[in-house]
Structure 1
Amino acid sequence: MIKKGIVLAGGFGTRLHPLTKVVSKQLLPVYDKPMVLYPIETLTKAGIDDLLIITNPDDKILFERLLEGFNTDLSITFAVQNYPNGIAEALIIAKDWLNNEGCALILGDNIFLSDNINDCLKNALLKENGATIFGFHVNDPSRYGVIEFENNKVLSIEEKPKNPKSNWAATGLYVFDSSVYERALALKPSDRGEIEITDLNISYLKDENLNLSLLDKDSYWLDAGTFESLLEAGTLVKKLKNI
């Protein structure tokens, strides 16, 4: 079973300026705790006990302070992404920590609220080979990486397509086998100069080794990277806690 998990909490958070001019986006509050604790809990509830937190140079000390003594059962390591060169760069930064093992990767602004995600992630962590992406049904798929599939077999992944082939978005949670470092290292930067996570997933798809796990209709997934979604996330967490 995969026991390692990366939380990518870098970037500039430009959609949340001016707040993020003084503090990392992932340290902003979502109801009663900092945003980053939600993705951390998503990983740990599924059995991951070895975490790598990747952040930018300015905020590293703040994450260290927040997570000091957070959970004595966890091993927590910190690393720096000097510039946001793409999500998949996290797997290159993590080379030594990975030590030729597989891992989960979750974006630090992605909030999952459901028991279903726990079950889906646990099942993915048991797979020895391939990668797993997690799909969520959305009404506006052109804003996301869109998954086309048939009988739960992935046919294509397109990033923010004008004509989406489905209403299933790829969330910011992934599970990769031990080949992930070499795959990430082999990727070429996209036109916008980033090492793209979609390209990494496509490398598994070409090998017919990309698994799909669909979150059920009772699940909640929020990308809390805008003022609207940040407010929505806090309101939803409060509502669910009071049920």
Structure 2
Amino acid sequence: MKGIVLAGGSGTRLYPVTKSISKQILPIYDKPMIYYPISVLMLAGIKEILVISTKRDLSQFKSLLGSGEELGIKFEYAVQEYPNGLAEAFIIGEKFIGKDNVTLILGDNIFYASNFGNRLMKVSKLKNGAVIFGCYVNNPSAYGVVEIDSNNNAISIEEKPKHPKSSLAVPGLYIFDNKVIDIAKQVKPSERGEKEITSVIDVYLKNNELKVELTGRGLAWLDTGTHESLLEAANFVQVLQKRQGLYIACLEEIAYRRGYISKEQLVRLAQPLVKTDYGKYLVQISNEVM
């Protein structure tokens, strides 16, 4: 399974903050925003990750993340010239994906739940078809919406419908088999001029190859596309970390606990950060008895 983080777009809803920097570089409390989607892929056991962004912003991500070697994983990078839709990620990433299945996550989505990592590991073992998540929201018209039957089978999916058929939004986390590349190539742009991810999902739906995982009440899903939602997300992370003493989206911790890096490597990663609570947390982890 390969992973893609789509971190493109111009971030106009966050102007003037994002006039010269990618929104996925902005901090969500104590970490860059992109750490959060990357952590989801790592929790799913994915070690090869493609970061797609604009030509202007890609150098920022390369500087921040590097090759991934120090985390025991591998980052690759690609440019999306124009915001042509989420489905274009599979066309851009065709060579990277190769013959593998792929998980796509949006660079401005944050997920948090107890045991979410193990759940992702299970779902990411997909062999055929596609898996999307269904998350209850009070404003489904702002999202892609999936309608399900009594057995949680998908009935329909619509992109930002004026009259939603359910309250289940489809968050920015999608798992597909290798057929997604050819499907994405055949998708025609919508009225917005974009290759919509819902059009790709609809193909799997019509072929009876779409599974829906309900997130339930135990999962927090935050979309950080506005100034208000940025603040809400930062407050959410701050409260959880301070009260629990456990960090969210700490890439070094995930790499260590997944066995990608050794204790010695973790300590080395912590050294440049020892003046921060983040660095002290890494040192604390390295001193734990495993």
Alignment-mate amino acid for residue 63 of structure 1:
F
Mapped pair 1:98 → 2:97:
yes
1:120 CA displacement: 3.3
Give 1:161's aligned amino acid: P
The gaps in structure 2 that reach 5 residues or longer are: 244-290
CA change 1:165–1:241 in 2 (3 A) is: same
CA distance in 1, matches of 2:114, 2:67: 26
Counterparts of 1:147 and 1:122, CA distance in 2: 23
Structure-2 separation of matches of 1:120 and 1:34: 24
Residue 20 of structure 2 is aligned to residue 14 of structure 1: no
Q: Is the 8 A contact 1:26 1:35 kept in 2?
A: yes
CA contact (8 A) 1:117 1:215 kept: no
Between the two proteins, the alignment pairs up a number of residues equal to 241
Q: What is the aligned partner in structure 1 of residue 75 from structure 2?
A: 76
Q: Which residue matches 1:207?
A: 207
Cα deviation per residue 1:12-68 (whole Å; 9 max; x = unaligned)?
011001111010010000000100000000110110000000010001111000002
Q: SS of the counterpart of 1:100?
A: coil
The alpha carbon displacement at 1:139 in A equals 1.0
Aligned residue identity for 2:145? V
2:138 alignment counterpart: 139
Question: In the alignment, does 2:116 pair up with 1:117?
Answer: yes
Q: 1:171 corresponds to which residue?
A: 171
Which stretches of structure 1, 4 residues or more, deviate above 6 A after TM superposition? Answer: none
SS for the counterpart of 1:242 is helix
TM-score, reference length from structure 2: 0.81
CA contact (8 A) 1:128 1:177 kept: yes
TM-score (norm 1): 0.96
RMSD between superposed Cα atoms in Å: 1.1
Pick the structure with more helix per residue: 2
- Which residue does the alignment assign to 1:180? 180
Q: Is the 8 A contact 1:147 1:166 kept in 2?
A: yes
Alpha-carbon displacement from aligned partner over 1:120-149 (angstroms, at most 9, x marks no partner)? 322221110001001111111111111100
Equivalent position of 1:189 in the other structure: 189
What are the within-5 Å matches in structure 2 for residues 46-85 of structure 1? 46-68=44-66, 70=68, 71-85=70-84
Structure 2 distance, partners of 1:235, 1:67, is 24
| SS of residue matched to 2:3 | strand
Alignment-mate amino acid for residue 147 of structure 1:
V
Preserved CA contact (<8 Å) 1:116 1:215:
no
Please give the secondary structure, in 1, of the residue aligned with 2:50.
strand
Q: Is the CA contact (8 Å cut-off) linking 1:120 and 1:213 kept in structure 2?
A: no
Q: Which residue in the other structure is 1:216 paired with?
A: 216
Distance 2:160 2:46 in 1: 31
Residue equivalent to 1:87: 86
Q: Show CA shifts across 1:87-146 (max 9, x none).
A: 000000001111122110000000001134323322221110001001111111111111
Name the SS of the counterpart of 1:171 in structure 2.
Answer: coil
Letter in 2 for 1:19: V
CA distance in 2, matches of 1:117, 1:41: 11
Structure-2 separation of matches of 1:133 and 1:51:
19
- Higher-Rg member (1/2): 2
More relative contact order, 1 or 2 (CA 8 Å, 6+ apart): 1
Q: 1:69 to 1:82 in 2, by over 3 A?
A: closer
User: Contact (CA 8 Å) 2:43, 2:118: kept in 1 or not?
Assistant: no
2:227 aligns with 227
Instruction: Looking at secondary structure, tell me which structure has more strand per residue.
Output: 1
Q: How far, CA to CA, are the matches of 1:130 and 1:188 in structure 2?
A: 21
Q: Distance in 2 between matches of 1:76 and 1:18?
A: 29
Match of 2:279 in 1: none
Paired amino acid for 2:18? T
